[in-house]
Amino acid sequence: MTEGTPAPVYGSAVTKVEPFGVEHIPDNERHGRPSSQFFVWFAAGLNFPIILLGFSAAWFGLSFSAAVTAIVIGAALGSLLMAVMSRMGVRLGVPQQIQARGPLGFFGNFLPVAYINVFAGVGWAAVTVILGGKAFAELTHLPFWLCAGVLTAAELVVSIYGYNMINYLQKVLTYVLTPLFLLITVVAVVRGGSFFHADPKAPGYIGSTGGWITFGGWFLSFLVAWAPFASDYSRYLPDTPEVVTRTAWYTGLGNFVTICWLGILGVVVGGSATSSDSITALHELAGPFAIPALLAVGLSALAQNFLNVYGGAISVQTLKVPVSRSQAVTVICLLAYAISLWGESGTEDKFKVFLNLTAYFIAPFAAILLLDFYLGGRSDPSRISELYDRNRVLDWGFVAWAGGVAASVPFWQSSFYTGPFSKAFPGAGDLSMFVAAGAGVVLYLLTYRLKPLWVRGPSGGSVELTSSEPSTLAS
């Protein structure tokens, strides 16, 4: 620390409640190593929903080799997206949701954040509580509501402590979960692994190309769903060229390894699963090793939901709801728990519907943020004050996002809603996410040089970054 620089209020303290909400993180509070991002995302990826997605390869009638290439390409594209968005957090020192105020406007950002981040944060938290709660219930023979409640309480406490506690526990969980999932891998492959050929008679067969696109798109969607939270866990890192570059590499690697590993594992064992319930199927495949397998699934729910709950709370504050981060965490946990009690049955189908719907809305959002950072000049730290300027009500990025979502609707392919294009050409696969992102990109490029849609009063005035947003501890 240089002479005259104020001492950090938070620093690297693990057992201190994080005092910041969605404010810009000042230089004296910047700390940590880029390698922390590997543990954050590697632990989050050690999660049973990824294996669950892999189960579907045989249902689509894909060959083993086709399923593996779909997973690898989907994981590579999603990991690249996460890597770039994580480095944006280092550069700007603000959450991803706040960054979106740049291209969309202060209030134009409300609708995307409300749906994408708050809805997605609560929804993903509920899905993960269901799977973790069912694993612990299967393991302990205690009622589901109790197991889910204990998981939710643990997530609530850790998310209130915030950034440093989450980073620390993600590293711990990486070391705990890795050997457990390695055990699951070996046992599942030995007891039920199979390598299969394409099967045109499979119940979900829509053609080799369409099935490949839809199946690979699910793994890309899984990482696209994380994109609005990527900067949240890197924004405290020191803003130096070396840290920015290494953060991107560690983030991308942490995501890519776990998505490929568990996705391919799901492909290998999915064709042998005899139960339609994923947790029961895992129990059967693990046999005498069911206890560590179920323990791994239960603990992995924590690794994922620390991020879901914390990111969702930041999103609530981005919407200017007058609550502290701790209060937002509490509300999100209660909602997720209530939804988990309702959604305990039929988890697999609800999970895939939810995965699709989030990706359709997030893909153009992420594309616009990236373009604004690299083409719109938002990488310049001197423009951070614009992100807290309420006079910038609405900008063209909102039109690009809304237009991207609207353009994708005819291509939606889901049990919730199937668009006219998908009905007419089911063999094309689910192209919705790609259409949404592409349309959003085109609309952004056509409009980003135009004057803002709505500026209220004088814009660009001085903005106090440390007090313009609610404090974490504010009551």
- Is 329 domain-assigned? yes
Higher pLDDT, 464 or 187: 187
- Is 439 domain-assigned? no
Buried b (16+ CB within 10 A) or exposed e, 69-99: ebbbebbbbbbbbbbbbbbbbbbbbbbbbbb
Task: Quick: pLDDT tens for 183-241.
Answer: 988 988 887 777 788 899 998 999 999 999 999 999 999 999 999 999 999 999 999 99
Task: Quick: pLDDT tens for 26-56.
Answer: 999 999 999 999 999 999 999 877 888 898 8
User: Is residue 259 predicted with pLDDT exceeding 60?
Assistant: yes
**Count of structural domains within the chain:** 1
- Is 38 domain-assigned? yes
Phi then psi for 418, rounded to 5 degrees? -120, 125
Mean of the per-residue pLDDT values of the chain: 90
Q: Let me know: does 26 contact 322? Beta carbons within 8 Å.
A: no
Q: Let me know: does 187 contact 293? Beta carbons within 8 Å.
A: yes
Q: What is the pLDDT of residue 278?
A: 64
- Is 378 domain-assigned? no
- Is 191 domain-assigned? yes
Please measure the distance between the N-terminal and C-terminal CA atoms of the chain and give it in whole angstroms: 32
- Is 113 domain-assigned? yes
User: Is residue 464 predicted with pLDDT exceeding 60?
Assistant: no
Q: What is the pLDDT of residue 191?
A: 79
- Is 367 domain-assigned? no
Q: Please report, for the domain that includes residue 301, its CATH number.
A: 1.10.4160.10
Single pTM value for the model:
0.92
For residues 67 and 211, give the distance between their C-alpha atoms in angstroms, rounded to a whole number. 9
Domain limits for position 209: 33-361
Q: Let me know: does 236 contact 66? Beta carbons within 8 Å.
A: no
| Single-letter amino acid code for the residue at 170 | Q
Task: Quick: pLDDT tens for 371-403.
Answer: 999 999 999 999 999 999 999 999 999 999 999
- Among residues 121, 139, 122, 120, which one has the least CA distance to residue 297? 139
Q: Let me know: does 206 contact 429? Beta carbons within 8 Å.
A: yes
Q: Quick one: tokens of 19?
A: 């005092």
- Is 1 domain-assigned? no
For residues 40 and 107, give the distance between their C-alpha atoms in angstroms, rounded to a whole number. 30
